[in-house]
Amino acid sequence: MITSKRKVPNILITGTPGVGKSKMSELLAERTGFTWLDVSKLAVENGCVESYDEDYRCSVINEDQLLDLMEPMMSEGGKIVDYHGAEFFPERWFDVVFVLRTNNTILYDRLVARGYSGKKLEDNIDCEIFQVILEEAKESYSSEIVHELQSDVPEQTMNNVDRICQWIEQWKKDNQ
Ligand SMILES: Nc1ncnc2c1ncn2[C@@H]1O[C@H](COP(=O)(O)OP(=O)(O)OP(=O)(O)O)[C@@H](O)[C@H]1O
Ligand SMILES: [Mg+2]
């Protein structure tokens, strides 16, 4: 059991690209006053990148640099970390992990609308079908703190935000 000295919890929002992590994190940050950290953006803005992946058309994060950058932020608590991976963060950073899930057909349409095609599109759909991020989260954190949330329609995003707000209130009571 990891005992946290944080007065407010840190939350990891993860899942396959396109499942709605950023949209939900933004709403959650507005509701809670917590700080939303979009990890890919944070890495690029702070030069924590080491190369460019031509196949996936995205920057490759320098994980060590990024972890050093995030460490003092995470020790403050009250962070919503939004990233399509769950395994390279230290386990002690998070009090809860939410894995967003989207129906394959819906996700396919969303990624096409975003301009994804070819290998990038197929690999991301496979990632969701094979629950890659969910498995990664369960392997990286204690299974009691990992929760799946469905994110097919906007109403679910609103319900998920409500549910996380309730979870935060309970955490505060339990950690006074
Ligand atoms: N629950 C939902 N219902 C319908 N559309 C949604 C839902 N959640 C997100 N979307 C839409 O799907 C698209 C992708 O959402 P978003 O950018 O939040 O995904 P993401 O998980 O942050 O992706 P990435 O990992 O690539 O950053 C956006 O157009 C967003 O408006
Ligand atoms: Mg995003």
Closest atom, ligand 1, to C-alpha of 113:
29
What pLDDT is attached to residue 4? Answer: 58
User: From the CA of 128, which ligand is nearest?
Assistant: 1
pLDDT per position as a tens digit, 59-73: 899 999 999 999 999
The per-residue pLDDT for range 118-156, each reduced to its tens digit, is 999 999 999 999 999 999 999 999 999 999 999 999 999
Q: Catalogue the E-assigned strands of 9-139.
A: 11-14, 35-38, 49-53, 58-61, 79-83, 96-101
Euclidean distance between CA atoms 174 and 176, whole angstroms:
6
Q: Backbone phi, then psi, for 64, in 5-degree steps?
A: -60, -45
CA–CA separation, 134 and 136 (whole Å): 5
Rounded to the nearest whole angstrom, what is the distance from the C-alpha of residue 7 to the centroid of ligand 2? 27
Q: Output the six-digit token pair for 174.
A: 């339990």
- pTM, 2 dp: 0.96
70-106 tens-digit pLDDT:
999 999 999 999 999 999 999 999 999 999 999 999 9
Q: pLDDT band for 11, please (50, 70, 90 cuts).
A: very high
Q: Which ligand is nearest to the CA of 112?
A: 1
Q: What is the structure's pLDDT at 147? A: 98
Instruction: Quickly state the pLDDT bin for 2 (edges 50, 70, 90).
Output: low
C-alpha 2 to ligand 1 mean position (Å): 32
